[in-house]
Each structure stands twice: as C-alpha cells, then as structure tokens.
Amino acid sequence: MSIDMAQFHQVFFEESFEGLDIMESGLLNMDPSAVDAEGINAIFRAAHSIKGGSGTFGFSHISGFTHVMETLLDEMRDGRRPVTPSGVEVLLRSVDILRAMLTATSEGGEIDQAHVERIKAELEAELRGAPSEPQPTSPQGGQITAPLLDALGWHIVFRPLENMMRTGNDPLRLLVELDTLGALQIEVDITSLPVFAGFDAELCYLSWDLRLLGKIERGAVDEVFEWVEDECELIIMPILPKAVPAAQPTPMVEASVPSVPVSRSVALVPADRRRKDRRKVEGERRNDRRGGPEQAASSGSSSIRVDIHKIDGLINMVGELVITQSMLGMLGEEFDMGKLERLREGLGQLERHTRELQESVMQIRMLPISFTFSRFPRLVHDLSAKLGKKVELKLSGENTEVDKTVIEKIGDPLVHLVRNSLDHGLEPPDERLAAGKPETGTVYLNAFHKGGNIIIEIRDDGRGLNRDKIEEKAIERGLIDEEHNLNDQQIYELIFQPGFSTADEVSDVSGRGVGMDVVRRNINELGGGITIESTPGKGSAIIIRLPLTLAILDGQTITVGKELYIVPLVSIVESIQVRREMVNMVGGRGETFHLRDEYLPIVRLHEVFKVSEEVVTDLTKGLLVVVEGEGRRCGLFVDDLLGQQQVVIKSLEANYKRVDGISGATILGDGSVALILDITGLIRLAGANHPMSCAERRFAMRAER
C-alpha cells in the first residue's frame, strides 16, 4: 500500500518556516568576535531539518540549496572556518531566498530561479575562501595547544533515553555502524537495569562508554547519531595524545549524569541540554506560557498547535457540562415547585461552566505577540544599514497573548510604524551626538494587556514629530486654514490624512504619503484605535489599542425606538443627558453640542437607520452616548441604555451584505438579532473626521452666546 506523502506537506512547511525563524534569530544575535557554539549548532540543526524534510518530500531544489548552506554552517560550527560578518550576511540572504522558495512551493507559485542562483553563487564563493584550521577551545574559552588533527580517536558517552526503542531506533545498530568506522572499544553500564519483575522489553536501560580509535572525521561520527540526537544524552570528545593536557572536566547540567570532560568546540551537547537550548532560541517565536510550549504557526497559517494541557482542560470542562445537562434533564422530567431551588443551582452551574468553556475555547486561539515581534530584529538590522543609522531594538511583552486573527492582521501596520521610527524618528549618528545623545538610537516595541485590550507601543528616542512642518504641510494642502486653533494632539492627528507626508524626498523607505492612513484604517477594521505622543527632541510614541479577540465583544445595549443595537464598550467615552442650551446648529455641519472644551457633532441614529416607530426625537428626553473613533468624537443620540454584555460577533457582510455604520450582528438571549455599530463609519457619516474650521468654531461660539 502506497502512502500519500502530500498529506504531510503542510506540517513540513510550517516546521520549515519555524526553522527559518530560528536561523534568522540566531544569525542576527551572532557576534563574530565571540562565537557561541550552541548558537551555531541551533542554526545548523534547523538547516539540516529543512534539508532532510525537503529531500524526503521530493523538493530537490530546496534540499540542494540548503545543502550548500549546511556545508558552510558545518565548517563554522566545528571551527574549520571562522564566522565573519560577510558570512553572516550571506547566510541571512540565504534565509530570505529559502523562505521565498518554501512560500512559492507551498502555494504552487513560481520561484525566481535567477535570484536563487545568485545567492547560491554567493554561498559557494564564501565556501571557496580558504578555511582555517580548527582551533579547539576549552569550556572556559582558552585554546588547546594541540590541533584536532593529532587526535587518536573519539571518546563517546552514549546514554539513550528510556523510550528510544519505542520510536524504532535500536542502539545496537548504532554500535554496529560505529564499528565500521574504526576500532571500537565498548564498556556497558547496567546499573539502571531493574529487577526481572519490573523489566519492560520495550524500554532501554543500558548506556555505553565508547572509544573509537583511528583517524576518523568528526562528521562521520555525527552522522551515526544524527537521527537519535533528541532521544539520548550524547557527549563526543577527541582522544588526544598523552603529551597534550586535556581540557579540565566540566560537570554535566543534569545531576543524574556523571561529570565528563567536554570540549565545546568539538563535542555535541547532551540531547536534553540541546532541547533546552532550542527552546531558548525558539522562545523568540514561541515561549513557555501557562504550562508549556503553546501554539506555533507561521503568520497566515490555517492551523495552530495547541498545548495538550489546554485540550485536556477543554475535555474536562465538556465533561462537567454534560453532567450539568444530565442533572437538569432529570429535574425536568418530574419537575415540581419543591425542586425550584435545585433548578436555580443547576442553572447557575450551567452558566458558570458555559463561561469557563468559552474562556477555554478562546484560549486555544491565543498566541503570543512574539509571533509578530519576531520579524523586527531583521527589519531593523537591514533598514538601519540602508539608512546609515545605528539602532538598537528593545522588545518587551513578547509573551502577551492575543487572538491569532489579530496577530495575522497587525503585522503590516506595525512594520510601517517601525520603518517610520527608523526613517523619520531617529537621527543620524552625527546629529544625535551634536544633540548630546548617544549615537545609537533606540526603538522600543512593547505589548501588554490593559482593560480587556492589548496595548502595543512603538517608541523611539529620536527627534519627535515636527509640529511646525506638519502644520505647514496641512495648510499647504488645505486641510486646515492659517487661523486654525488646533492643539498639538490635533495637529499630530493630521498625519493620518490620506496622502499626507512631511518627507522632503521620496525614497524606497518613505515619502510617498501612502501608509499612515492605511495603518489607521487597518487598525480600525480590527476594532482598535491609534494615538500619538511626541516630545520635540526626545522622541515619539505610537500607541495602538486592540481587542484581545475578534470573535467576542464587550458591548453596551442601546434602544432606538423598538430596535436594539450594540455599541462596543471600548469606543464609549461617557453618556450624558443634554440640556437645550448645550445644542447648537452649525451651517453645513448640522447639530453640535458643547462638551467642556469641544464642539461635537450629534448623530441621530433613528435618522441614520430610518427607524420611525416609537422614536424619541427630543434631544432633552433621550441620551447622548459620546463615542470615539479615528481620534475623533461624536455623540450618538439614543432613546435609552440597557445592560452591558458580552456578545458573539457574526459577520453581516458574509450572511447578508455590507451596511454602512454596521460592523456585524449578534444573537441575544431571547433569540432576537441586534446590530453592532461601526463607530468609525458613523463618525464618518457625521463628518467628524474633518477638523472644524476657525470660522465654524467662531459661529458655534456666537450661537452659544
């Protein structure tokens, strides 16, 4: 029976993209002047896994390209070739082209073969450079005087994990393979053998101390163990001539493993420690959160990985729900008023379990924001080199969890904002030094939970926003007049106008006036908001507020006539009952009301949605709900406010059609449908996204007097 390998392709691609992220992160963190052997090992293993998987599935173009990368990395990790900045750069470019090849292969697209060949030629040119002789180092970093070529053989400590044989690997076959390489001396350790009554034939209780004598290449020894390196504790050391002092012993990390001398430059690290290191490297994309490694998927993937603890919790919760349902069913069969208290208890228990089940299901979709943050070290590395600036990127809050859909859609807006910080915000080194700042600028990317939302901050310590320049450009474009009375915050908000740019020159980084309006629109579509803070000469910050999930919404129920609507709670500023003297009519803008220092437009919802039955039309008898969107405010005139509740969002566009001012719908507890208001769309209807001119302000003030 033949096996359809295509069913495993998606898993291969997802794991390969994860491997590329590990490689990129490791290369960006690599310091050629102080090379971390474990970092190179992690990069090499990722490349080796991609090569092996692509070869298995017949993607020969990917395996062939990765083989050249793997060769270069192999020479770097065993000390035959120094790690140089040029080598790191060509490997970073290779990661990019490998990502493009995997993307094209997974989507059935065309591969830019000319580009592939150019990068492959760069790799081969790097390989043709004369490799240096390996210089073994002690665990403390000092050099060993004798070269590795003087080694008499290899001392191998091989301790399989108990379950190794259950994965189909047989330690005996490995020993037979080693014996073909040279003279093999074997000492077996049987101290872990249990008594016969406790013996399990499928478990491995033995370990071996091996000496493989002869002029044998290290790579040949590695190949024997490469398929079991995660299923054993393994140490490989050169056997040096007696005249050469060996490196001082270094105790193993695990207490159960005896102290064995280890030379970091030539030895594999024990498998359990390798796994810990790999988790550390992968931590930039998936961190230990709430009980273990969680979901992992490349952005835009149709699948996610879920920690088994979450699945177990979900199953337990469903079991509790079934028990409660069974109890209520029995009560309903022969119900009388004497069982009323038990019925109330059962309903309360059902509500509690349903809420916990909802939270458990939502947690399955939650991913750390590090899935998005992981792309920025490379972006900052490349862009700072292009702009001739020295930049340090500081990330915090990478473990903050948010819905997978939000993560997929927030990536591009964040990329644009970080590029803006590097291009517009941070000064060149000479300008920073002249201003008394360090020549290296800093960009901070932070995420945290606040009030049921996720807050993402992009801060820099650059020059800040140029208020005068923004004002000048706005007047030039007719967005405001010269007699305006806008404060700093309102001036800063003008950069979100379509086509607005303060760049003097157009480049491939910025200056075309395309971006900030799109950033705001994308964030608004996610139900979030964006604000700006800036201090001249000290830096600026863009603050994004997003919902944790797009599936459930905290809402305020309002009534307009006989109709019910839901207003997103995050958009509500306050609710007020207006007096007649607060309301004014402004020519061309309709009704406004004076709230402290602002004149806000009034949106009569019964007029927007053409509700006519039993509607309150007198402003003094209804309520105004002050809402905010796109940095602007308006007052929604409604009949009354009902309770607050969580609602499940249903797409109106998918089930009916797009309606201006409506973002979705939900089904209420009584089975009726309530529409969810699109605050941004309603503000546009009110014209609140255009600043009020000075003439209109003066008219409003006269009308008020």
Region of poorest pLDDT, from 69-83, 256-270, 461-475: 256-270
State the catalytic residue, choosing from 14, 18, 38, 70. 70
> Per-residue pLDDT for 263 more than 50?
no
> Per-residue pLDDT for 627 more than 80?
yes
SS3 (DSSP) at 530: strand
Asked if domains 5-128 and 368-547 share a fold, the reply is no
Topology of the domain covering 552-704: OB fold (Dihydrolipoamide Acetyltransferase, E2P) (2.40.50)
Considering the domain delimited by 5-128, tell me its CATH architecture: Up-down Bundle (1.20)
Selection from 198, 206, 264 nearest residue 235 by Cα: 264
Q: How is residue 679 written in tokens?
A: 């605050």
Q: What is the C-alpha separation between 123 and 92, in angstroms, rounded?
A: 11
Average pLDDT of every residue of the chain: 77
- What's the CATH number for 368-547? 3.30.565.10
In the chain, where are the structural domains located? 5-128, 148-279, 308-364, 368-547, 552-704
Greater confidence, 31 or 137?
31
State the catalytic residue, choosing from 231, 284, 420, 606. 420
Confidence of residue 507 (pLDDT cuts 50, 70, 90): low
State the catalytic residue, choosing from 18, 48, 231, 630. 48
Residue 430 is predicted with a pLDDT of: 92
Confidence of residue 362 (pLDDT cuts 50, 70, 90): confident
Specify the residue for token string 């971390």: 36
SS3 (DSSP) at 404: helix
Greater confidence, 468 or 697?
468
Selection from 221, 203, 218, 220 nearest residue 160 by Cα: 203
CATH class entry, domain 148-279? alpha beta
202 burial level (CB within 10 Å; 0-12, 13-18, 19+): exposed
444 burial level (CB within 10 Å; 0-12, 13-18, 19+): middle
> DSSP E strands: which ranges in 326-389?
366-368
Residue 142 is predicted with a pLDDT of: 36
33-34-36 Cα angle (round to 5):
135
User: For residues 647 and 676, is the Cβ–Cβ distance under 8 A?
Assistant: yes
Phi, psi of 506 (to 5 degrees): -85, 130
Q: What is the pLDDT of residues 376-417, one digit of tens each?
A: 888 898 888 888 899 999 999 988 888 888 888 888 888 889
CB atoms within 10 A of CB 663: 23
- 70 carries an active-site annotation: yes
SS3 (DSSP) at 156: strand
Percentage of the chain exceeding pLDDT 70: 80
Q: What is the C-alpha separation between 360 and 516, in angstroms, rounded?
A: 36
Q: What is the pLDDT of residues 183-202, one digit of tens each?
A: 889 999 888 888 888 888 88
Q: What is the C-alpha separation between 376 and 398, in angstroms, rounded?
A: 12
Q: What is the C-alpha separation between 22 and 44, in angstroms, rounded?
A: 10
Region of poorest pLDDT, from 83-97, 202-216, 524-538, 678-692: 678-692
pTM (two decimals):
0.56
Q: What is the C-alpha separation between 510 and 499, in angstroms, rounded?
A: 12
